[in-house]
Amino acid sequence: MDARTLSTRMADGREILWFDGPGRPPRDPAELVDRRDLPAVTPASQLRYDALAGEWVTIAAHRQDRTYQPPADQCPLCPSRDGRLTEIPSPEYEVVAFENRFPSFGSAPGTPSPAVDPDTPLAAAGRCEVVCFTDDHATPFSRLPPERVRLVLEAWAERTAALAARPGVRYVFPFENRGAEIGVTLAHPHGQIYAYPYLPPFPQRMLAHVAAHREATGENLFDATLAAERAGERVVVAGEHWTAFVPQAARWPVEVHLYPNRPTPDLPALDEAQRAEFPVVYLDLLRRLDALYDDALPYVAGWNQAPVREADGRADARLHLRVHSIRRAPGKIKYLAGSESGAGAFISDVLPEAVAERLRGL
């Protein structure tokens, strides 16, 4: 896909990137001027090290003041129209990505190390970006046309490569939160990309298990897992280049993993055939999820991909998308209670094979 990218600046100096498909004329930067009077963003996040858990925790108190569930006519992610100025200084757009005004990370580049001084808070280096999938406030991702989903994929891949090249970044995580039950603060169809200055706990643990399995057996555990699932009863959507399945040990009431069939480390490494088929398979999956309870399913969809550094296990990593929902039945939510929140031990009320069968039949 011949997507075009243009970088401009917002009134407070933040970068905004415009992604357009081949059918749209090139944009004129002179027409993309942010005319708002905004103070500069001053990063205020801290990293603090939990020595007992061996994990970094980000303290981002300034995010308490971020915009929270405004009415549709006051949405800051809609285009600037009819005299109302928003985050996007244009009366229309296809896909845009821009620096978050309330970032969890974003200070000067640097790599945290508990060996330096685990008791001293550090500046939270990295970067947080917002990705708007469409200028239509009422169109969810599941109802986007395939060509727009392809453009979003191109934006994810481009931003992954660009953010991975920034000093101090160790892991790039594109994700979408959808639904008030999930806790989204803005209803406009959008996602985010976090560029972490450390390897987050979940991929760190996962890659450690994969490395141990390779040492013991010589095989890649991601590849073995995908092969086993493709041969089993939990497949939901099977394409030539992608497979979506409910994992055998699903933690969440609704949980589906989407893997490229060919071992692929990250989004920039996707080939043309994989990129072309992704919109078809992913839209199929999302529409099945929305049909599960005949309602828009609240979910989190996050891309797990290879870390930036070889030392963090890049060679063993495999790109995959994990979609999960906290809705366990119509009108019922799974809350993380004592076992999950207190002990970190998930207990699921739903049989993964039953969820897969229901999704296949929709």
Q: What are the two backbone dihedrals, phi and then psi, of residue 50, each rounded to the nearest 5 degrees?
A: -90, 100
Give, as one character, the DSSP assignment of residue 107. B
| Per-residue pLDDT tens over the stretch 170-204 | 999 999 999 999 999 999 999 999 999 999 999 99
| Per-residue pLDDT tens over the stretch 91-115 | 999 999 999 999 999 865 555 666 5
Cβ-contact 211, 313 below 8 angstroms: yes
Q: How far apart are CA 163 and CA 194, in angstroms?
A: 9
Q: Which of 62, 190, 241, 324 is catalytic?
A: 190
310 Cβ neighbours under 8 A, 6+ residues apart: none
38 Cβ neighbours under 8 A, 6+ residues apart: 10, 11, 12
The confidence score (pLDDT) of residue 115 equals: 58
| Per-residue pLDDT tens over the stretch 125-181 | 899 999 999 999 999 999 999 999 999 999 999 999 999 999 989 999 999 999 999
Fold observed for domain 203-361 = HIT family, subunit A (3.30.428)
Residue 273 predicted with pLDDT over 80: yes
Percent of the chain with pLDDT over 90: 87
pLDDT band at 43 (very low <50, low <70, confident <90, very high): confident
Residue 120 predicted with pLDDT over 90: no
Cβ-contact 182, 299 below 8 angstroms: yes
Q: Is 78 annotated as a binding residue?
A: yes
Strand-strand pairing, 55-59 and 4-9: unpaired
Cβ-contact 345, 293 below 8 angstroms: no
Q: Is 320 annotated as a binding residue?
A: no
The confidence score (pLDDT) of residue 23 equals: 86
Domain map (residue ranges) of the chain:
4-199, 203-361
Q: Which strands form 55-59's sheet, in the order they lie side by side?
A: 55-59, 46-50, 122-123
Tokens encoding 154: 């191109």
Tokens encoding 61: 């108190």
Q: Is 218 exposed, middle or buried (0-12, 13-18, 19+ CB in 10 A)?
A: exposed
Mean pLDDT, the chain, integer: 94
CATH superfamily for domain 4-199: HIT-like (3.30.428.10)
4-199 and 203-361 in the same fold: yes
Cα 2 to the chain's mean position, in Å? 23
- Which residues share a beta bridge with 135? none
Tokens encoding 302: 């996050």
Query: Does the annotation mark 241 as catalytic?
Result: no
Residue 118 predicted with pLDDT over 70: no
Q: Is 132 annotated as a binding residue?
A: no
pTM, full prediction: 0.95
Q: What are the two backbone dihedrals, phi and then psi, of residue 259, each rounded to the nearest 5 degrees?
A: -115, 145
| Per-residue pLDDT tens over the stretch 277-331 | 999 999 999 999 999 999 999 999 999 999 999 999 999 999 999 999 999 999 9
